[in-house]
Amino acid sequence: MDLLSIIYVIICPMKKQTTVQSYAKLNLALAITGVGQSGFHSVDMIMQEVSLHDTITLQPADTIFVDCGDVCEMHRNTAYKAAQLFFAQTGLPGGVSIHIQKRIPAQGGLGGGSSNAAAVLLALDNMFETALPQNTLAVLAGQIGSDVPFFLHGGCMRAQGRGEALSSLPNNLDAQYLLVKPDAGVGTARAYQLSDALGPVHVEIDQVADALRQGDAAAYFSSTGNALYPAAQQLCPPVSRTVDDLKQAGADFAMMTGSGSCVFGIFTDPALLQQAETVLKSRYPFVQSVHNVFRGR
């Protein structure tokens, strides 16, 4: 340990342990606007943080260690990469032990891995009192994945480019969601590749944004869409059935989030949502009612 590191540890003792929540997201609209020479897709989408969350506990350690049960490989985990980038950026000695209690299902289009990475970056910055500038955190987040910068802020945001060009968006839609995921998942890369072959799907993002600002459910339902849905239907046929089952259960609207395979239904009648949740739990491995999350409110 060099002299600077010793001085830092003496002057700035870190917190012993911290626990944070890592929220899922829904894509309330998703359009593909182009494909660059590098093969990366440019998008225009609206993301909303929701109450489904993983719980992450962090404790200072000699090395970086991540435990999330049997659902992930440690060295390929986004939380591990986030911790690596944080310690490389700050030059701090030591590491961190991270335990993730997973609730957000994988390959659902809910952003669980991206959310975990952002939560770890923010938690480490707080634990070690490094006060990294927002633009520095955003750069680190972008090195992990295109959705990770969104989760540094949360709430409702419009994301453009590769997902890193973010702008806050008021969401005044009084929405109650029911999330339903079939057994099979959809790989994001495969969904984008097949989407290229199938051709463009037009989604009126500006109209969707206006509908959310105004809290106009009918306008939202008529203007929104997910450009990856046709590809996901081919890669994972149960997605279509899940959309139909939610509508038959009383949802006013149903749509896939992200690259799938999770589908969300929007209900205006709380009693009907509760009834649908009970019925669909007997048919699907993952069914969960959630609401919008706006940090700081």
Q: Is residue 81 flagged as an active site residue?
A: no
Residue 72 clears pLDDT 80, i.e. is over it: no
Assign residue 166 a region (left: φ > 0; alpha: ψ between -120 and 50; beta: otherwise): beta
Mean pLDDT within 200-217 = 96
Tokens representing residue 264 in the block: 């969300």
129 and 276 part of one domain? no
Mean pLDDT within 49-55 = 98
141 and 190 part of one domain? no
Residue 7 clears pLDDT 70, i.e. is over it: no
48 and 193 part of one domain? no
149 and 198 part of one domain? no
Residue-number span of the structural domain to which 43 is assigned: 3-168
Residue pair 293/51 in contact by the 8 Å Cβ criterion:
yes
86 and 130 part of one domain? yes
Backbone angles phi, psi at 208, to 5 degrees: -60, -45
User: Among 44, 54, 125, 147, which one carries the catalytic annotation?
Assistant: 147
Q: Of 143, 168, 193, which residue is a domain's last?
A: 168
Tokens representing residue 245 in the block: 């089952």
Mean pLDDT within 171-184 = 95
67 and 23 part of one domain? yes
Q: Where does the pLDDT of residue 15 fall: very low under 50, low under 70, confident under 90, or very high at 90 and above?
A: low
Answer yes or no: is 38 within a domain: yes
Q: Of 168, 195, 217, which residue is a domain's last?
A: 168
- How far is residue 76 from each of residues 42, 68, 144, 188, measured CA to CA in Å? 25, 12, 11, 16
Q: What is the CATH number of the domain that holds 191?
A: 3.30.70.890
The pLDDT score that the predictor gives to residue 163 is 86
Residue 216 clears pLDDT 60, i.e. is over it: yes
Q: What is the CATH number of the domain that holds 77?
A: 3.30.230.10
Picking from 184, 194, 177, the residue whose alpha carbon sits closest to that of residue 288 is 177
The pLDDT score that the predictor gives to residue 286 is 98
Q: Is residue 147 flagged as an active site residue?
A: yes
> What percentage of the chain reaches a pLDDT higher than 70?
94
Residue pair 273/249 in contact by the 8 Å Cβ criterion:
no
Q: Alpha helix (H) ranges present in 91-237?
A: 112-127, 134-144, 148-153, 188-198, 205-214, 217-223, 229-235
Answer yes or no: is 114 within a domain: yes
16 and 144 part of one domain? yes
Residue 10 clears pLDDT 80, i.e. is over it: no
Amino acid in position 91: G
Residue 58 clears pLDDT 70, i.e. is over it: yes
The pLDDT score that the predictor gives to residue 141 is 97
Q: Alpha helix (H) ranges present in 27-178?
A: 78-90, 112-127, 134-144, 148-153
More confident residue, 13 or 23: 23
156 and 237 part of one domain? no
Answer yes or no: is 295 within a domain: no
- pLDDT tens, 255-287? 999 999 999 999 999 999 999 999 999 999 999
Residue 44 belongs to what H/E stretch? strand 41-61
The pLDDT score that the predictor gives to residue 296 is 65
163 and 181 part of one domain? no
124 and 245 part of one domain? no
Residue 5 clears pLDDT 50, i.e. is over it: no
215 and 104 part of one domain? no
Mean pLDDT of the chain: 92
- pLDDT tens, 106-164? 999 999 999 999 999 999 999 999 999 999 999 999 999 999 999 999 999 999 998 88
The pLDDT score that the predictor gives to residue 228 is 97
Answer yes or no: is 296 within a domain: no
Report the alpha-carbon distance of residue 293 to residue 24 in Å, rounded: 10
Q: Where does the pLDDT of residue 222 fall: very low under 50, low under 70, confident under 90, or very high at 90 and above?
A: very high
145 and 211 part of one domain? no
